């Protein structure tokens, strides 16, 4: 299997790209090859062959001269306790291992201190064949006697046993190179390895389905095992009537709590509405009628009868409704009145008065003019409406808004006048009435 260097997923050896993250798998193969090439196989470390110490009572071998000693290479077996002990004995007998793992034997000094030399002398050499023989070569397993020094006649040397020397430290094996991190593609983050969750087999449960998600649940459950929704939801309360949504009635109170208080409050509200209607109904009705007058428009209406209680010859009262502004009703002075009678009741919307003898400015000031009039309106039910009209001392029409219902008679009484002198009289050129169209 080939491991992905990015996510670590296992892939087949024949695949070039990771089937998990899509990374190129050639990077991991080159990294494994470079790691295996950088760690060489360590060679076995040779162990020197031990030489047993010489026996004190046994016969000693006669030294013989060897003019040409040759270094001997012995392969080192695996280190064991016996080999460690033999290495100690070999150190005391004068064996010196070199850096390549070979044991070089030379002429002994005769003291057994293990200070061998490579000087090829003519006497005192031990038999190297016995030194090269491994300890396991003898059938009885006893160690071979070591070579004696050439100076064997020295009594002090014979009396002192050779002191064993510490074994030299074996050469350390070369350490393998530290493993380098596997190469990754540049500028590409390492994605974590995905974890596949086990797929749970659906449980076959026979029961009431959840009204929210539809998952079947056991009959003894009150809430859904998947969405925790109630399996038996309570019925929704009926909506309250509209009047219960208003502030005083939407409070949640006990049945019978504050019953008399509610009754008293209801009676007080009804009484207040009645009083308000009694005082506000006329004003409200007048407001409504005035709005209708402005929206509906007005049309003129002509009285069926005109009567004046005083007059000037040649200027009768009917001249106020003939439609001509150069003809007028002449009155002797203040206090004179003129009455207009209509054939059917109507709503008097406006009243237009043309004061003076004419609409022309030069003819207007020729006679006296009225500055104030008192209007008395009689309705069909006999009720009287009084209104005081103030007029401007100028030529032209002047409109007076009235807004009176069921009018059947209108009486105008001259009040204060201006420009009255000897040989002059009060002139009223035109009076027009308008009803709602």
Residues 133 and 265 reside in one and the same domain: no
Per the CB < 8 A criterion, the answer to whether 388 and 372 are in contact is yes
| pLDDT score at 94 | 40
| pLDDT score at 241 | 81
Q: Give the alpha-carbon dihedral of 114, 117, 123, 129, to 10 degrees.
A: 70
Residues 276 and 402 reside in one and the same domain: no
Residues 353 and 365 reside in one and the same domain: yes
Residues 28 and 102 reside in one and the same domain: no
Give pLDDT tens digits for 185-208: 676 777 888 888 777 676 777 888
Per the CB < 8 A criterion, the answer to whether 269 and 383 are in contact is no
| pLDDT score at 172 | 64
Distance, in Å, from the CA atom of 160 to the CA atom of 11, rounded to the nearest integer, reads: 73
Distance, in Å, from the CA atom of 65 to the CA atom of 78, rounded to the nearest integer, reads: 34
Q: Which residues of the chain have pLDDT under 50?
A: 37-161
Residues 284 and 411 reside in one and the same domain: no
Residues 102 and 183 reside in one and the same domain: yes
Residues 275 and 344 reside in one and the same domain: no
Residues 118 and 73 reside in one and the same domain: yes
Q: Give the alpha-carbon dihedral of 79, 84, 87, 91, to 10 degrees.
A: 140
Give pLDDT tens digits for 243-261: 777 776 666 656 566 678 8
CATH number of the domain within which 315 lies = 2.60.120.260
Judge whether 88 lies within some domain.
yes
Give pLDDT tens digits for 150-175: 444 444 444 444 555 656 666 666 67
| pLDDT score at 206 | 80
Range of the domain at 101: 42-54+63-170+177-187
Residues 19 and 71 reside in one and the same domain: no
Distance, in Å, from the CA atom of 316 to the CA atom of 322, rounded to the nearest integer, reads: 11
Residues 288 and 326 reside in one and the same domain: no
| pLDDT score at 122 | 38
Distance, in Å, from the CA atom of 156 to the CA atom of 214, rounded to the nearest integer, reads: 109
Residues 361 and 432 reside in one and the same domain: yes
Distance, in Å, from the CA atom of 264 to the CA atom of 318, rounded to the nearest integer, reads: 64
Q: What is the pTM of this model?
A: 0.40
Residues 49 and 29 reside in one and the same domain: no
| pLDDT score at 169 | 62
Distance, in Å, from the CA atom of 433 to the CA atom of 287, rounded to the nearest integer, reads: 21
Judge whether 254 lies within some domain.
no
Judge whether 400 lies within some domain.
yes
């Amino acid at each position: 299997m080939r491991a992905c260097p990015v996510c670590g997923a296992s892939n087949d050896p024949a695949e070039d790209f990771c089937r998990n993250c899509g990374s190129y798998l050639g990077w991991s193969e080159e990294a494994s090859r470079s790691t295996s090439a950088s760690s060489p196989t360590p060679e076995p470390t040779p162990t020197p062959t031990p030489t047993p110490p010489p026996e004190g009572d046994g016969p000693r071998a006669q030294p013989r001269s060897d003019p040409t000693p040759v270094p001997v290479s012995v392969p080192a077996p695996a280190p064991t306790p016996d080999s460690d002990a033999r290495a100690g004995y070999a150190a005391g007998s004068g064996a010196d291992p070199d850096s390549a793992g070979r044991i070089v034997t030379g002429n002994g000094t005769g003291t057994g201190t293990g200070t061998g030399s490579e000087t090829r002398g003519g006497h005192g050499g031990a038999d190297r064949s016995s030194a090269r023989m491994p300890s396991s070569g003898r059938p009885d397993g006893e160690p071979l006697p070591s070579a004696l020094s050439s100076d064997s006649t020295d009594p002090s040397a014979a009396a002192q046993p050779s002191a064993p020397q510490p074994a030299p430290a074996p050469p350390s094996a070369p350490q393998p190179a530290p493993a380098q991190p596997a190469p990754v593609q540049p500028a590409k983050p390492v994605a974590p390895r995905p974890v596949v969750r086990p797929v749970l087999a659906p449980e076959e449960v026979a029961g009431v389905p959840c009204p929210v998600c539809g998952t079947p649940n056991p009959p003894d459950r009150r809430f859904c095992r998947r969405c925790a929704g109630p399996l038996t939801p309570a019925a929704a309360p009926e909506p309250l009537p509209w009047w219960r949504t208003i502030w005083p009635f939407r409070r949640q109170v006990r049945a019978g709590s504050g019953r008399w208080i509610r009754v008293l409050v209801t009676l007080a509200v009804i009484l207040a509405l009645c009083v308000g209607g009694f005082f506000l109904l006329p004003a409200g009705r007048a407001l409504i009628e005035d709005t209708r007058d402005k929206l509906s428009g007005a049309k003129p209406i002509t009285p069926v009868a005109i009567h004046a209680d005083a007059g000037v010859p040649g200027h009768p009262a009917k001249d106020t409704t003939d439609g001509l502004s150069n003809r007028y009703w002449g009155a002797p002075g203040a206090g004179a009145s003129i009455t207009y009678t209509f054939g059917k009741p109507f709503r008097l919307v406006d009243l237009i008065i043309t004061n003076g003898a004419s609409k022309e400015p030069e003819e207007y000031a020729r006679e006296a003019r009225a500055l104030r009039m008192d209007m008395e309106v009689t309705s069909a039910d006999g009720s009287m409406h009084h209104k005081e009209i103030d007029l401007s001392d100028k030529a032209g029409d002047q409109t007076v808004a009235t807004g009176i219902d069921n009018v059947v008679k209108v009486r105008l009484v001259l009040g204060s006048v201006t420009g009255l002198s000897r040989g002059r009289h009060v002139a009223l050129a035109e009076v027009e009435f308008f009803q709602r169209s």
